[in-house]
Amino acid sequence: MRIALSQLNLHIGNFEGNLAKMLTAVETAKAEKADLICFPELAVCGYPPRDFLEFDDFIKRCQQSVAALCEVSKDIAIVVGAPTRNPVLAGKDLYNSAYFLFDGKIQAVQHKALLPTYDIFDEYRYFEPASEFKTVAFKGKKIALSICEDIWNLGNENPLYTICPLDEMMPEKPDFILNISASPFNYAHAKTRIHTVKANVQQYQIPMFYTNMVGGQTDVIFDGGSLVVSPDGQVFDELPYFKECLKVYDLEEVMKGGIHREQAKDKIHLIHDALVLGIRDYFQKLGFQKAILGLSGGIDSAVTAVLATEALGADNVRVLLMPSQYSSDHSVNDAQVLAENLGIQYDIVAIKSVYDAFEAALATQFAGTTFNVTEENIQARVRGTLLMAMSNKFGHILLNTTNKSEMSVGYGTLYGDMCGGLAVLGDVYKTEIYALVKYINTLPIGKYRMEGVIPQNSITKPPSAELRPGQKDTDSLPPYEVLDPLLFQYIEQRQGPNELIAQGFDEALVKRVLRMVNINEFKREQAAPVIRVSAKAFGMGRRLPIVGKYLS
């Protein structure tokens, strides 16, 4: 038997586009003599559809796509994910299902049993869990058909669930496992995913064919990396990351094993590729073309400009240099050098006169007060207003350049430097950005510059918002090499104050930093969507009350 895995970049609600991609893949698989082709979880509608699932018409169109695929299944079996209506009055209205299509008919439907409701997942909001499990007979083989999370409770060891779907199928003695997935990216998840697939294969002593989705869905990235694991527990093959791919495997060859094709997984390389894909798909799937951002001469805006240029092309990226009376000459120069290195359009719009107009307008009200964060925020908001004006006038989408360290502690101005349609670096700590710069400066960026695209001065100078004379980030924050490990333990690892102090963090620092994180939740609630690259990104995956008292 020849089995094709098709990892596709699917678009939520784009039924015609998704179906067209799958029909093309079916024809390619047929040409390569495949007997069966697997598509990802909820492939007909894209993942995660969220409250679109509450629209009756949305479900009808999903079923129309399944019917269209059924028509082309006469010479090849098709496994595809789609929502299914629950015919029983009790329970949720829908199942998350895997359809097995062959010979122009629906031969079997297996529903998903384990419905994740954690991090970015909210499947139990929509779906009823499966209660029946049967293998699928096809060409003399028995297939254990499963969906994503259904392989993540091996041995009933996951405390979130009380059933292991594959255990329920094993009495029928299946010959291999098919798993269709929409498994979101974070920089550590690929290794965990491989470990889980291997563990299932070692447990049941049969191979697994695992098909994953690829592509960006606003904040969530799917990385592909579909897998074939032989009965010897080794990765027979691993498909590319962040790219569409179709590949056909001979079951007999997979059964023999002895081949190990696992890819390297460098954290910074993965983050870079995920961010580029996230920007590109955000623009393409929303029908946008051009981006704009403020280029300050610092590394956050520099990295964002490079990533945007890689994703969209130099002709589609424009930057504003907005020096104030507090900006250093080298900041403007560094920004100009970067723009010229990338070949992107840049404009210099000084903000002093606009800032002076604000001061004059408020002179009576501010009389007798001293310069403080208010005046700093006015500068940031002037810049935000100028960027949004350019966005409105020319149809450019503003990219936000705030990093995760700043977003964590509220070191940013609402309606100023926190403006934007997409927060590119909002899940990347400042120390990780330095590592990204090092990686980027080894890459060829288009046809404009080979190595060293980001100027060295942008990398080595102390980080500063340049909103008052001689300002440095360390005037308001601990050094990032101290701050970031503390933030990581609190945000990603969910370590409370006592645990952090026990780890060796200074008690006063812990109280100060955690208070900054918690009292700035209101800013993050209003921030642009953050491209998720870690296991705990701001947004859907981290939901905290704005008015919570904990440590505030």
Residues of the chain with CATH 3.40.50.620: 270-475+519-525
Which one of 38, 62, 70, 112 is the catalytic residue?
112
Q: How far apart are CA 71 and CA 4, in angstroms?
A: 18
For domain 2-258, the question of CATH label 3.40.50.300 is answered with: no
Residues of the chain with CATH 3.60.110.10: 2-258
Name which CATH class applies to 270-475+519-525. alpha beta
Identify whether 148 is a catalytic site residue. Answer: yes
Beta-bridged to residue 79, according to DSSP, are: 38, 100
Helix (H) or strand (E) holding 294: strand 291-294
- Sheet containing strand 397-400, edge to edge, reads 345-348, 317-321, 291-294, 397-400, 422-423
Q: How far apart are CA 239 and CA 272, in angstroms?
A: 18
Q: How far apart are CA 185 and CA 199, in angstroms?
A: 20
Which one of 21, 38, 41, 406 is the catalytic residue?
41
Beta-carbon contacts of 435 under 8 Å, excluding residues fewer than 6 positions away, are: 268
Report whether 240 contacts 219 (CB < 8 A): no
pLDDT per residue, tens digit, the chain (552 aa), is: 999 999 999 999 999 999 999 999 999 999 999 999 999 999 999 999 999 999 999 999 999 999 999 999 999 999 999 999 999 888 999 999 999 999 999 999 999 999 999 899 999 999 999 999 999 999 999 999 999 999 999 887 888 888 999 999 999 999 999 999 999 999 999 999 999 999 999 999 999 999 999 999 999 999 999 999 999 999 999 999 999 999 999 999 999 987 778 777 899 999 999 999 999 999 999 999 999 999 999 999 999 999 999 999 999 999 999 998 887 777 899 999 999 999 999 999 999 999 999 999 999 999 999 999 999 999 999 999 999 999 999 999 999 999 999 999 999 999 999 999 999 999 999 999 999 999 999 887 654 454 689 988 888 888 777 777 878 878 888 999 999 999 999 999 999 999 999 999 999 999 999 999 999 999 999 999 999 999 999 998 998 888 887 765
CA distances from 125 to 54, 62, 114, 132 (A): 10, 19, 13, 20
Q: Can you give the pTM of this predicted structure?
A: 0.94
- Residue 451: predicted pLDDT: 62
Which one of 38, 45, 62, 148 is the catalytic residue?
148
- Residue 551: predicted pLDDT: 66
- Residue 272: predicted pLDDT: 97
Identify whether 41 is a catalytic site residue. Answer: yes
Beta-carbon contacts of 145 under 8 Å, excluding residues fewer than 6 positions away, are: 79, 98, 100, 108, 110, 135, 136, 178
Handedness of CA 461, 462, 465, 470 (dihedral sign): negative
| Alpha-helical runs (H) found in 179-250 | 189-204
Identify whether 419 is a catalytic site residue. Answer: no
C-alpha torsion angle, residues 228, 178, 116, 122 (rounded to 10): 100
